[in-house]
């Protein structure tokens, strides 16, 4: 039975208004005006959760993707590693293309923030799938940055000697990097591409960062719950001073092409 079949057999979802009526949650001192606005927001949150699951089910139901054209060879911490070997005991491999090429002085701050959060979840992720972080810088440089950030669980690999980034990470002719997730599957000895992020600058709404949906970064998820939201003049950076960046502080911004 497919995930789509399981969803079809689920009891019909209740209308948001019915679910709202069943929710007893109230907070001290809230006004009637607040509760009316909060209930309207809660109805949207219920619909958003449903839409996220519909999209996830549609993604899981994708037909087989293209066969991987070659068994790419990477440099890992302990020597050469092929794409097949990255799967380990799993039949699904998730890769993250890290914007840290040989011509960049430092890692993309947004990539570093994303990878820091993933490092904390990696022990759980690896129970279900294999995961690899891929960048074009030499492996020694990647390992040095991994140590600097205190990443304990991420497995990093250099793609400097192959065409993986050009084939699967939208690397442009000038060798500029793009941060991107890809998912590969293995069945009967055949590797196939299952899904890859495609929500780049060309698909972004006016004034919006070219982020994916749903947004995977915890920092944005947390800030989205606050009155100030994400703001318009702040991005994660690699180092902070003793106090948070002041409004308009350019040092608080990421200057990668994908985030400006």
Report cis status (omega within 30 of 0) of the bond before 214. yes
* 73-196 is a CATH 3.30.460.80 domain: no
What residues are paired with 186 via a beta bridge?
191
Beta-carbon contacts of 259 under 8 Å, excluding residues fewer than 6 positions away, are: 108, 110, 209, 235
How many helices (DSSP H) and strands (DSSP E) are in the chain? 8, 7
| Predicted local distance difference test score (pLDDT) of residue 88 | 98
pLDDT tens-digit readout, 156-169? 999 999 999 999 98
Q: What is the mean pLDDT of the chain?
A: 87
pLDDT tens-digit readout, 95-134? 999 999 998 999 999 999 999 999 999 999 999 999 999 9
Give the Cα separation of 240 and 260 in Å (integer).
20
pLDDT tens-digit readout, 81-102? 999 999 999 999 999 999 999 9
The string of DSSP letters for 61-90 reads TPPP-PBPSS--EEEETTEEEEHHHHTTT-
Q: Which residues of 45-59 are buried (b: 16+ CB within 10 A; e: fewer)?
A: ebeeeeeeeeeeeee
């Amino acid at each position: 039975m497919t995930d789509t079949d399981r969803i079809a057999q689920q009891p019909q979802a209740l209308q948001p208004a019915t679910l709202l009526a069943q929710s007893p949650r109230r907070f001290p001192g809230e006004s009637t005006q607040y509760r009316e606005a909060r209930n309207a927001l809660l109805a949207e949150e219920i619909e958003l959760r449903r839409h996220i699951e519909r999209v996830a089910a549609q993604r899981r139901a994708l037909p087989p993707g293209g066969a991987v054209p070659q068994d790419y060879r990477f440099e890992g911490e302990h020597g050469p590693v092929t794409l097949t070997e990255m799967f380990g005991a799993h039949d699904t491999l998730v890769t993250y293309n890290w914007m840290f090429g040989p011509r960049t002085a430092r890692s993309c701050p947004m990539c570093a923030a994303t990878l820091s959060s993933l490092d904390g979840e990696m022990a759980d992720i690896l129970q279900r799938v294999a995961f690899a972080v891929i960048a074009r810088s030499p492996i020694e440089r990647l390992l040095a940055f991994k140590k600097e950030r205190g990443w304990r669980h991420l497995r990093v690999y250099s793609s400097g000697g192959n065409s993986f980034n050009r084939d699967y990470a939208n690397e442009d002719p000038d060798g500029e990097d793009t941060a991107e997730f890809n998912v590969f599957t293995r069945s009967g000895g055949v590797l196939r591409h299952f899904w890859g992020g495609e929500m780049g600058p060309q698909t972004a709404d006016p004034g919006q960062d070219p982020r994916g949906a749903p947004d995977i970064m915890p920092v944005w998820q947390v800030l989205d719950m606050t009155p100030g939201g994400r703001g318009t003049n702040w991005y994660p950076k690699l180092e902070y001073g003793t106090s948070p960046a002041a409004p308009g502080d350019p040092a608080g911004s990421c200057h990668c092409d994908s985030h400006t």
